[in-house]
Amino acid sequence: MDSKRYELNVQLAQMLKGGVIMDVTNVEQAKIAEDAGAVAVMALERVPADIRKQGGVARMSDPAMIAEIKKAVTIPVMAKARIGHFVEAQLLEALKIDYIDESEVLTPADEECHIDKTTFSIPFVCGARNLGEACRRIAEGAAMIRTKGEAGTGNVVEAVRHMRTMNREIRQLVQMPVEEVTGFSKANGIPYEIALKVKELGRLPVVNFAAGGLATPADAALMMQLGCDGVFVGSGIFKSADPAKRARAIVKATAYYNDPQKVLEASMGLGEAMPGLEIGQIPPEQILAGRGW
């Protein structure tokens, strides 16, 4: 990927700022998401809550299903490839979708290497739990970052943890004298040049969205107030009692995240949220955020 193409890819993510990206599994859901004001959809066969329940190996979705969704909407379409599965990524690029999520929600295909995203023209978003992980993905060519959170739980606690961790580490970097950056980078696995960039910018050098466990308008506003540039909502919408209503409410709360009165109005009468999972109840080997490195 040449630098101009990378710039365009980062800039597409900039145009998504302040927006909500929604997981959808069919054309009907994609249309509901678009009508509700989603800025993009993530096309996949099973939302994370079902992947978690059904177990087994989760792979890239059927390209025919992704193609149908692409045809049905005019907003950008994203789809997931397994961590390290560069051929799934090649197929998604050939399908000409708009963004690839190299995602821990799917079963990793490589336990040592993430995809070399610099060899692609299509943009990638990757998950991160901390500044080091985010910067390593950026070094590999990611044009957008999201928190990993813990997908499919309806529990925002991990997304909050990941965002607070990144923010704390960014604050540390900004405040430290430059001679301490080498040691800090080494300790946190941050490529040195990117650490300097983060120090200068006071934030990640790409757009950073919240993801993993968001289920309510208040969850979305919480992540926005913590400094995220926008949000992903996966299972939270189509596993709730009234998806269209909840989708619209989360779009409103994300746009007006600093206005409690508007978030309050958006939160009224939405019906049941998706069933939630306590993180401590999940067996350690089923924690998705631990995938990737």
Partner 1 sequence: MTVLPIRKSPDLIGVLDLQGGVHEHLEHLDRLEIPSRRVKDASDFTGLAGLILPGGESTCLARLITIFGLKDVILQHYRLGMKIWGTCAGAILLAEKVLGENSCLGLIDIEIERNGFGSQLDSFVAESMIPAVSGEILPLTFIRAPKILKTGKEVNVLLRIDDYIAAAENDGVLVTVFHPELTGSVAFHRYFSEKCGLTPQSEAAVISDWGMLSWMKHARIAS
Q: Give SS3 for 207.
A: strand
CB 289, min distance to partner 1, A: 21
User: Does 15 engage in binding with partner 1 (CB under 8 A)?
Assistant: yes
Among 45, 50, 68, 98, binds partner 1 (CB under 8 A): 98
158-188 in b/e form (b: 16+ CB < 10 A) is: bbbbbbebbbebbeebeeeeeeebeebbeeb
Tokens 């500044």 locate to 131
The answer to whether the beta carbons of residues 123 and 12 sit under 8 Å apart is yes
Among 144, 255, 274, 288, binds partner 1 (CB under 8 A): 255
Stretch that binds partner 1, among 43-51, 93-101, 181-189, 276-284 (CB under 8 A): 93-101
Q: Is the four-CA dihedral 134, 137, 138, 142 of positive or negative sign?
A: negative
Which amino acid is located at 27 in the chain? V
CB 102, min distance to partner 1, A: 16
User: Does 252 engage in binding with partner 1 (CB under 8 A)?
Assistant: yes
User: Does 74 engage in binding with partner 1 (CB under 8 A)?
Assistant: yes
Provide the edge-to-edge strand list for the sheet that holds 124-128: 207-209, 144-147, 124-128, 99-103, 77-82, 40-43, 20-24, 231-233
Lay out the site mask for partner 1 across 152-171 (x = CB under 8 A, - = otherwise).
--------------xx--xx
User: Does 202 engage in binding with partner 1 (CB under 8 A)?
Assistant: yes
User: Does 261 engage in binding with partner 1 (CB under 8 A)?
Assistant: no
Among 86, 184, 209, 256, binds partner 1 (CB under 8 A): 256
Report the residue count for the chain: 293
Shorter beta-carbon distance to partner 1: residue 183 or 202: 202
User: Considering 53, 70, 80, 199, which one is annotated as catalytic?
Assistant: 80
Among 23, 34, 88, 158, binds partner 1 (CB under 8 A): 34
- Enumerate the β-bridge partners of residue 43: 24, 79
Instruction: Let me know if 80 is a catalytic residue.
Output: yes
Which amino acid is located at 44 in the chain? L
User: Does 19 engage in binding with partner 1 (CB under 8 A)?
Assistant: yes
CB 235, min distance to partner 1, A: 21
**Can you read off the two tokens belonging to residue 93?**
């690029």
In the chain, where does DSSP find H-type helix?
A: 3-15, 27-36, 48-54, 63-72, 86-94, 131-139, 157-175, 181-188, 192-201, 217-225, 235-238, 243-255, 260-267
Show contacts with partner 1 in window 118-147 (CB under 8 A).
121-123
Q: Which residues bind partner 1 (CB under 8 A)?
A: 4, 7-12, 14-19, 34-40, 70, 74-77, 93, 96-99, 121-123, 166-167, 170-171, 173-175, 197, 201-203, 205, 227, 229, 248, 251-252, 254-256, 259, 262
Active site residues: 80
